[in-house]
Structure 1
Amino acid sequence: LRHRGKYNESEAVNRRALEGREKILGPAHPDTLTSVRNLASVLESQGKYGESEAMNRRALEG
């Protein structure tokens, strides 16, 4: 979706994926952190740099 310019839809899908992974796998699981990074990328594409930076930091800190 992000690659097609559907940023709002992509953000919603990525947020749902992250929420699901956090519930099932926990916040520090590598797959959850991949979802965090994916959401950060979408947020950056939308110009939401503060949120994107926070998500990137979370992904790095694990």
Structure 2
Amino acid sequence: MGKLWTVEDVAEYLGIPVNTLYDWRTRNYGPPARRVGKYLRYRAEDVVAWFESLDTDAA
């Protein structure tokens, strides 16, 4: 397993604001994250898998 991604890493990868990730978490949407103490961490493979599962027909 590689380095865990921060919220900033995921936001950069997805090209979205950090606050959008926090908003998505309150709506049970977005890539799965794990809490490490007070921090959110993401596994890169989980983020990529979540992204790849999105509907490609969305406009």
TM (norm. structure 2) is: 0.28
Larger % of strand: which?
2
More helix by share: 1
Report which structure shows greater RCO (CA 8 Å, sep ≥6): 2
